[in-house]
Structure 1
Amino acid sequence: MLLSVAVLSGVFIAAPVQSAEYKIDTQGAHAFIQFKVSHLGYSFVMGRFNEFSGEFNFDAQNINDAKVSVTINTQSVDSNHAERDKHLRGKDFLNTAAFPKATFVSTSVVEQGDKKFTINGDLTFNGVTKPISIDALAIGAGKDPWGGYRAGFSGTTRFKMKDYNMRMDLGPASAYVDLTLVVEGIKQ
């Protein structure tokens, strides 16, 4: 079922913004890392990671210099089913006792036009580091009512469970994890 990594998150914006550091707003619950896995090809198991943190740097004039990093507490996996979550935390899937954190660190960001980006990076999950790409979309940016400045993005990615040493084999229909990321950053 599983999991994900999440990681993360891609985040970048096509609006004119000066280079700035942003902290992902997890305190205000304006960021989400959600996963979806086919259950035997008959339905889906969906869930999220409740605890993660991260930051990104973005300059619309120098998109190639953009960076993002995210750390996920894999023990915070939540599929809205306590027994399944216990199984997801075990050795068949996330192995959270040995690997309580997952990370994503970008290696490049490529502008695709029309507020779209590809964020390439390394996902370290369940003791394995592999490159992944996140298809990201800039949602918007601007001042908030509290005098700050925010930028928001969404992203999706997919990876094979076996690529990250998840041992449970539920057949070919359940081989992939789809991640959906929604990120709002607060300019620091």
Structure 2
Amino acid sequence: MKFFTATAIAALTATAALADPVEYVFDKSHTEISASWVHQGLSRQSMQFTDYDGTLMLDFDTPSNSTIDISFNLIDGIWPGAHHDRFIAHLNSDEIFNTAEFPTAHFVATGFETEDGETGTMTGDLTLAGTTVPVTLDVTLNRLREDGTAGFTATGTVMRSDWGPTVGIYAGPISDEVIITINTELDVAPDDAE
């Protein structure tokens, strides 16, 4: 769920040093956050998270000063493609996300590591259906423009069974392993833009 977060941006340093954390916002027209799994050993299927927001306070000079805190709407913030209504109803049921009780997923970053300023990892806590599990994302800084706009790719693998008898109970025909993929562009928030 990168997703999950486009949230891995704070794992990286960049050539432009910023003295303090700067607020960033998602460019949602150029952001894709998805989860994919294997269906019956036959094919890889995926869904996208479309309704998300949170706090992105980024310090490119000292990543440990950054704050990443993002919530995802699970009720109607997912697009799986064909048979949308039926699939969303299944995800909302108590067999999977139980959105009647837990309407959102929540990710909070807990650590950042990078050696070259272009690739790194971000660790964090992902809460689904009331259960919190640590996750790790591998992050690549694709580009940092002079105006501050930044582009990142992040990927990571989670196991549904780590969330116990909630998200993992319906093993059914799909894999326990789920790949989170995030491709995002981030803009400096208007109040922080020069």
TM-score range, shorter chain: 0.7 to 0.9
Provide the residue aligned with 1:174 in structure 2. Answer: 175
Shift of 1:114: 5.7
Q: Percent identity?
A: 23
Deviations, residues 11-53 of structure 1 (Å, cap 9, x unaligned): 1343223144233325x42222111011011112211011001
Provide the residue aligned with 2:87 in structure 1. Answer: 84
| Structure 1 consecutive aligned stretches of length 4 or more whose deviation exceeds 6 Å | none
**Do structure 1's residue 93 and structure 2's residue 96 form an aligned pair?**
yes
Provide the residue aligned with 2:70 in structure 1. Answer: 70
Unaligned runs of 5+ in 2: 190-194
Going by fraction, where is strand more abundant, 1 or 2? 1
Contact 1:7 1:71 in 2 (8 A): no
Shift of 1:5: 6.3
Provide the residue aligned with 1:161 in structure 2. Answer: 160
Residue type of the alignment partner of 1:159: V
Shift of 1:111: 0.7
Shift of 1:91: 1.7
Alignment of 1:95-110 (within 5 A): 95-110=98-113
Contact 1:116 1:135 in 2 (8 A): yes
Aligned length: 179
CA distance in 2, matches of 1:6, 1:72: 8
Deviations, residues 59-95 of structure 1 (Å, cap 9, x unaligned): 3331232331211111212111221222122122222
**Structure 1's 93 and 85: CA in aligned 2 closer, same or farther, altered over 3 A?**
same
Deviations, residues 129-163 of structure 1 (Å, cap 9, x unaligned): 1111111111112245xxxx311211011111121
CA distance in 2, matches of 1:5, 1:23: 16
Provide the residue aligned with 1:10 in structure 2. Answer: 8
